[in-house]
Chain A
Amino acid sequence: DVKVTQSSRYLVKRTGEKVFLECVQDMDHENMFWYRQDPGLGLRLIYFSYDVKMKEKGDIPEGYSVSREKKERFSLILESASTNQTSMYLCASSLRINRGLNTEAFFGQGTRLTVV
């Protein structure tokens, strides 16, 4: 059974803290993604990575950075957490598109982050 695992389901952090959200997939997928989910806004892409050590900004990268040192792991970093980063964060992975039609993304359970 395919799996994307996020390290925490719930996190509470203080303003100004450095926050790490970890995501691991066991499907040998090239692509990994971090989305942010807010009511009425759907899922917005923060960053994605198409290979180890490769990253691209998504639609809302400000205030975030990422790290992908190994193929299976993709970390989202909030350098200095702020209250407007309180949200649900979803990690996903997928195959590279030219590897066939199995193009769907697989999602982790989500991390609900509250910044106080």
Chain B
Amino acid sequence: AQSVTQLGSHVSVSEGALVLLRCNYSSSVPPYLFWYVQYPNQGLQLLLKYTTGATLVKGINGFEAEFKKSETSFHLTKPSAHMSDAAEYFCAVLPSGGYNKLIFGAGTRLAVHP
């Protein structure tokens, strides 16, 4: 079965610092890849996605992620953290074939301090 691993359940950065949230997936066939963000007491909102084409994808709020097939990774980055980035972030994969059943990682809670 396919799985998604997010390294670090909690990440803390200073405002203005680089944000790096790690995601690795297990799949022999590259799946579609997603990052979602969840603010307190809210549903999930799509940040960005990779389906085909360019491996560096840009999303909303200045986030981007790079698909690296050789490393089976899809890490999320933002050059300069803002206080409003504090939230929980979920990496998800959509396996090839079958129905659109997203498989989620356990999530990473990002804290941004002044």
Please name the residue on chain B nearest to A9 by beta carbon: B41
Looking at B12-20, B62-70, B73-81, B96-104, the stretch in contact with chain A turns out to be B96-104
Q: From residue B80, how far is it (CB to closest CB) to chain A in Å? A: 26
**Is B43 an interface residue, CB under 8 A from the partner?**
yes
Contact status A42-B43, CB under 8 Å: no
The interface size of chain B toward A, counting residues with CB under 8 Å, comes to 24
In the complex, which range does the number of interface residues on chain A fall in?
Answer: 20 to 34
Taken together as a complex, chains A and B put the C-alpha atoms of A50 and B100 apart, in Å, by 9
What chain A residues lie within 8 Å of B98 (beta carbons)? 97
A105 in complex: contacting residue of B51, B100, B105, B106, CB < 8 Å: B100
Interface string of A3-45 (1 = CB under 8 A from B): 0100001000000000000000000000101010000111111
What chain A residues lie within 8 Å of B34 (beta carbons)? 104
Taken together as a complex, chains A and B put the C-alpha atoms of A45 and B45 apart, in Å, by 17
Contact status B99-A97, CB under 8 Å: yes
What chain B residues lie within 8 Å of A103 (beta carbons)? 32, 49, 51, 94, 100
Interface string of B79-91 (1 = CB under 8 A from A): 0000000000010
State the B residues within 8 Å of A (CB): 9, 32, 34, 36, 41-46, 49, 51-52, 90, 94, 98-102, 104-107
State the A residues within 8 Å of B (CB): 4, 9, 31, 33, 35, 40-45, 48, 50, 56, 58, 90, 92, 94-97, 101, 103-110, 112
Please name the residue on chain B nearest to A96 by beta carbon: B100
What chain A residues lie within 8 Å of B106 (beta carbons)? 40-42
What chain A residues lie within 8 Å of B51 (beta carbons)? 101, 103
What chain B residues lie within 8 Å of A4 (beta carbons)? 43
20 pairs from A and B in contact (CB 8 Å cutoff) = A9-B41, A35-B104, A40-B9, A40-B107, A42-B104, A42-B106, A43-B90, A43-B102, A48-B101, A90-B43, A90-B44, A92-B44, A92-B102, A96-B99, A97-B94, A97-B100, A104-B46, A107-B43, A108-B43, A112-B41
